Amino acid sequence: MKKMRGISLAALSTVALLALAPPVSAQGDLSVGRKMLVEDNPGELWIDQGKGLFYQKRGPNKVSLEQCDFGMGPGKLEGAAARLPRYFADTDRVEDLESRLLTCMTVLQGFDRKALIKQAIGRPRTKGSDMEALALYVTSHSNGMKVNVTLNHQKEYDAYKAGEYIFYRRSGQTDFGCVQCHGEPNKRIRLQDLVHMTSKAGAQEVASTWPAYRGAHYIVRTMQWRLNDCVWQMRLPDLKYGTDYSIALTTYLNHRGNDAVMQVPGFKR
C-alpha cells in the first residue's frame, strides 16, 4: 500500500514558501540571558518554603508529611521524584508528583481534596501555593540523580500508551494536539522556545526541569500548571487538577526522558 506522511506534506509547504532565515536565534541572541537566569534561580527560595510546609504538623489530623510514601517508602525522598509517575498500590492508580502529594495531604493530613485543588495553582506574584512549594521541595531531593520512570505494572504501561495517544490527539478550535508545537526541533511560538518532545533530549528536558521558576509569574510552577496553560492556549476547556489525562501525558514524557539528570528548580522565561 502506498503511504504518505502528513508531516512531509507540511514540510513541502515550507519549501514552497521559500522560508527566509529566521530573524532570531534562540541559541545565540537569547542564550546569554537564559544562562544568567538559570545560574541564580529565585525559585530556590521556594525550597525552604516547601521544607517548612513538609515538616509542619498540618491539616485536621495535625501531622507532617514525613510518613508520605512517594514510592521509595514512607518519608524517603531521595530519588523519589525522579521515578514519578508510578503505580501506587494504596490508591491502585498511577500517580504523578502532584497527585501523590494530593493523596498524602488528604489521607494523612486530612485536608479536603477539593479545597486543596482549588488552591493548587497559586496566583502570580505571591508566595505561590503550598502544593507548588512542596512539589519543589520533594523534587529537590532528586537533584543530581537520573530520571528513572519504569513501566512494570499494567497501569503504568496503560498510562504511557494513553499519554502517547493524547500527545498526538488533535481537537478543538486550533486543531492542535501536543505534537503540533512540540514535534520538531528549534521551533518557537513568537520568541518562546518549544521543547522538541518527540526527541530524547527534549523529553529529558521536560522530565528533569520541573517544578520550575516561571519568570513572568515570579513563582514556582509545576508540570500540572504547564499542562493547564498549554491546554488553555489550545482552546480546550478547563483542565482538572491531577486527572489521569495529565498523569498519562507526564508518564509518556518522563519515561522517554529517562537518564536525564534532575536539576530543579528549572527556569522558564
Q: Which of residues 203-232 bind other proteins (CB under 8 A)?
A: 215-218, 229, 232
Q: What are the C-alpha distances in Å from 147 to residues 83, 158, 216?
A: 6, 20, 27
Could you say which of 14, 60, 89, 90 contacts other proteins (CB under 8 A)? Answer: 14
Binding residues for other proteins restricted to 44-103, rule: CB under 8 A: 44-45, 48-49
230 is catalytic: yes
Q: Half-sphere exposure of 44 toward its Cβ, with a 13 Å CA cutoff?
A: 8
**Cis ω on the peptide bond leading into residue 60 (within 30° of 0)?**
no
User: Which of 13, 60, 89, 90 touches other proteins (CB under 8 A)?
Assistant: 13
The string of DSSP letters for 24-86 reads: --TTTTTHHHHHHHHHS-GGGHHHHHHHHHHHS-BTTTTB-STT-BSSSSBT--TTTGGG-SE
Which one of 93, 113, 188, 200 is in contact with other proteins (CB under 8 A)?
188
Among 81, 101, 120, 162, binds other proteins (CB under 8 A): 162
Per rule CB under 8 A, is residue 237 in the interface with other proteins? yes
Our CB check for other proteins shows the closer of 3 and 73 to be: 3
CA distance 258 to 147: 5
Strand partners, 261: 146
Selected binder of other proteins within 118, 124, 259, 261 (CB under 8 A)? 124
> Which one of residues 29, 78, 112, 259 is an interface residue with other proteins (CB under 8 A)?
29
Place of cell 528549572: 266
Where in 167-186 is the site for other proteins (CB under 8 A)? Answer: 167-177, 180-181, 183-184, 186
- β-strand 187-189 against 93-95: which pairing, if any? unpaired
Which residue's CB is nearer to other proteins, number 210 or number 213? 213
Instruction: Give CA–CA dist 93/196, Å, rounded.
Output: 29
With respect to other proteins, which residue has the nearer C-beta, 33 or 110?
Answer: 33
For residue 200, state whether it binds other proteins (rule: CB under 8 A): no
The residue among 20 and 90 lying less far from other proteins, judged by its C-beta, is 20
- Active-site residue among 68, 104, 178, 230? 230
Q: Can you tell me which of 53, 69, 107, 158 binds other proteins, judged by CB under 8 A?
A: 158
Question: Per rule CB under 8 A, is residue 243 in the interface with other proteins?
Answer: yes
Part of the chain binding other proteins (CB under 8 A), chosen from 55-63, 67-75, 78-86, 235-243: 235-243
Please tell me the distance from the alpha carbon of residue 199 to that of residue 194, in angstroms, as a whole number.
12
Radius of gyration of the chain (CA): 19
Determine the Cα–Cα distance for residues 65 and 109; give it in Å rounded to an integer: 8
Contacts of 260 (CB under 8 A, 6+ apart): 146, 147, 203, 204, 205, 207, 208
Our CB check for other proteins shows the closer of 113 and 161 to be: 161
